[in-house]
Amino acid sequence: MAKRLAESFSGELVLEGTVENPFLEQFYRSGRKTALPAQLFFLFQRTRQLESLRQSDMFAPIRIADFHVLKDRLFAELNLSQDEMKLYEQIYDKLDVEVPRPDLVIYLQASVDALMSRIARRGIEYERMIDRAYLEKVADTYARYFYNYDDSPLLIVNASAIDPVRNDADYDALFDQVRRTTGGRHFFNPAAAVAFA
- Per-residue pLDDT reduced to its tens digit, 150-159: 999 999 999 9
Whole-model pTM?
0.87
- Per-residue pLDDT reduced to its tens digit, 19-68: 899 999 999 888 778 999 999 999 999 888 888 877 776 666 788 999 88
- Burial readout 18-51 (b: 16 or more C-beta within 10 A, e: otherwise): eeebebbbbbbeeeeebbbebbbbbbebbbebbe
Q: Is 73 exposed, middle or buried (0-12, 13-18, 19+ CB in 10 A)?
A: buried
Residues 6+ positions from 2 with CB-CB distance below 8 Å = 13, 15, 64, 65, 66
Whether the pLDDT of residue 71 is over 60: the answer is yes
β 154-158/105-109 pair status? parallel
Q: Which domains does the chain have, with CATH numbers?
A: 1-100 (3.40.50.300), 101-197 (3.40.50.300)
Give the DSSP H or E segment for 19: none
> What is the predicted pLDDT for the residue at 147?
92
Helices (runs of H) and strands (runs of E) counted in the chain:
9, 5
> What is the predicted pLDDT for the residue at 58?
60
Going through 62-189 in order, the beta strands assigned E by DSSP cover: 63-65, 105-109, 154-158, 185-188
- Per-residue pLDDT reduced to its tens digit, 84-138: 999 999 999 998 877 788 999 999 999 999 999 999 998 888 888 888 999 999 9
Contact in structure between 149 and 142 (CB atoms under 8 Å): no
